[in-house]
Amino acid sequence: MSKLEVKNLNMHYGDFHVLQSVNMPIAQHEITAMIGPSGCGKSTLLRCFNRMNDLIESAKIQGEILLDEKNILVKETNLIKLRKKVGMVFQRPNPFPLSIYENVSYGPKIHGEGKKRVLLEIVQKALEDVLLWDELKDRLKDSALSLSLEQQQRLTIARLLAVQPEVLLMDEPCSALDPISTQRVEELMFQLKEKYTIVIVTHNMQQAARVSDRTGYMLLGRLVEFDETQKIFTNPKHKETEDYVTGRFG
């Protein structure tokens, strides 16, 4: 069963038709990668899954996105519940200028958890899940901005895990990281997919090939091809896809 299902999704920024009839399933406990040249609409698509595009005045969306078989694009959707379920990791690590503890506990506090003991447990669990606990357990009061970029990006993932989401949206989560940090974050993603459903946007084709189970190739707002990652990279059906994954594009 698909965790998410995109059905005939069209989106405009004003008059600009940024997503054109996109259809794709996103399977549970898999990593789905979205690739494609700059400006093709990958981030825009990702931001449809947690309705972040609602913040943009000119954005208009038609079609359906089913989350557990319920359309989230309808007006009645409770955005707070939706975003609790479908969380997002941004391109640049963006911790709040607060302590490590306050960053991770931000979500649970917002959602009404007030007990110190419970919060600490949540923080510990989340930091353990991103393999930061041992490094940071003695400096939870330090500013999150004192961490390295990789630690910061892990921290933002922990901040997200603390609200117990089901789907993780990651928009180029490694683009600000060096190769070794990138590799470690990829390993982390591998572990996370056992519990979560992950959609990742990446410019790095090796990364898509390494981590993802399925890959979608987008071009100018269209989803050109969507298939198992292996097929996309070894035996694509479309000439455009082949040109892109073999680096002959442009």
Partner 1 sequence: MLKLHQPLLVDKAVKVLFWALTFFTLIILFFILGFLLKKGLPVVSWEFLTQPIRDMGKSGGIFPSIIGTIYLTLLGVVLATPLGVGTAIYLVEYTRESRMTRAIRFGADCLAGIPSIIFGMFGFVFFVITLKMGWSLISGALTIAFMVLPTIIRTAEEALKSVPQGYREVSFSLGSGKWQTVLHAVLPRALPGILTGVVLSIGRCVGETAAVIFTAGSALGLPLSIFDSTRTLSVHFYILAREGISMENAYGTAVVLVLSILLINIFAYTLMNRYISKNS
What residue 41 binds from ligand ATP, partner 1, Mg ion, none (CB within 5 to 8 A, per partner kind)?
ligand ATP
Number of amino acids touching ligand ATP (CB under 6 A): 14
- 13 near ligand ATP (CB under 6 A): yes
What is the rounded distance in angstroms from the CA atom of residue 186 to the CA atom of residue 73? 31
Q: Which of 36, 41, 107, 173 binds partner 1 (CB under 8 A)?
A: 107
Interface mask (CB under 5 A) for Mg ion, residues 18-47, using x and -? -------------------------x----
- Supply the DSSP string of the chain, one letter for each residue: -EEEEEEEEEEEETTEEEEEEEEEEEETT-EEEEE-STTSSHHHHHHHHTTGGGGSTTEEEEEEEEETTEETTSTT--HHHHHHHEEEE-SS----SSBHHHHHHHHHHHTT---HHHHHHHHHHHHHHTT-HHHHTT-TTSBGGGS-HHHHHHHHHHHHHTT--SEEEEESTTTTS-HHHHHHHHHHHHHHTTTSEEEEE-S-HHHHHHH-SEEEEEETTEEEEEEEHHHHHHS-SSHHHHHHHTT---
Q: At its nearest, how many Å lie between Mg ion and the CB of residue 153? A: 16
Listed ranges 91-99, 177-185, 216-224, 232-240: which one lies at the site for partner 1 (CB under 8 A)? 91-99
CA of 19: how far to CAs of 16, 24, 244, in Å? 9, 13, 19
Q: Which of 23, 29, 39, 246 binds ligand ATP (CB under 6 A)?
A: 39
Q: Which of 6, 9, 18, 31 binds ligand ATP (CB under 6 A)?
A: 18
Closest CA to 204 of 95, 47, 42: 42
User: 156 to 215, contacts with partner 1 by CB under 8 A?
Assistant: 156, 159-160, 163
- 97 near partner 1 (CB under 8 A): yes
Longest pairwise C-alpha distance within the chain = 57
Q: Which of 56, 80, 118, 149 binds ligand ATP (CB under 6 A)?
A: 56
Tell me how long the chain is.
250
Please give the structure tokens belonging to residue 28: 């549970």
Listed ranges 34-42, 74-82, 113-121, 130-138: which one lies at the site for partner 1 (CB under 8 A)? 74-82
What residue 88 binds from partner 1, ligand ATP, Mg ion, none (CB within 5 to 8 A, per partner kind)?
partner 1
- 221 near partner 1 (CB under 8 A): no
Q: Which of 32, 43, 50, 152 binds partner 1 (CB under 8 A)?
A: 50
8, 61 Cβ separation under 8 angstroms: no
What residue 56 binds from Mg ion, ligand ATP, partner 1, none (CB within 5 to 8 A, per partner kind)?
ligand ATP
Binding site for ligand ATP (CB under 6 A): 13, 16, 18, 36, 38-44, 56, 58, 203
Residues contributing to the site for partner 1 (CB under 8 A): 50, 52, 55, 57, 79-84, 87-88, 90, 92, 94, 96-97, 106-107, 109-111, 156, 159-160, 163
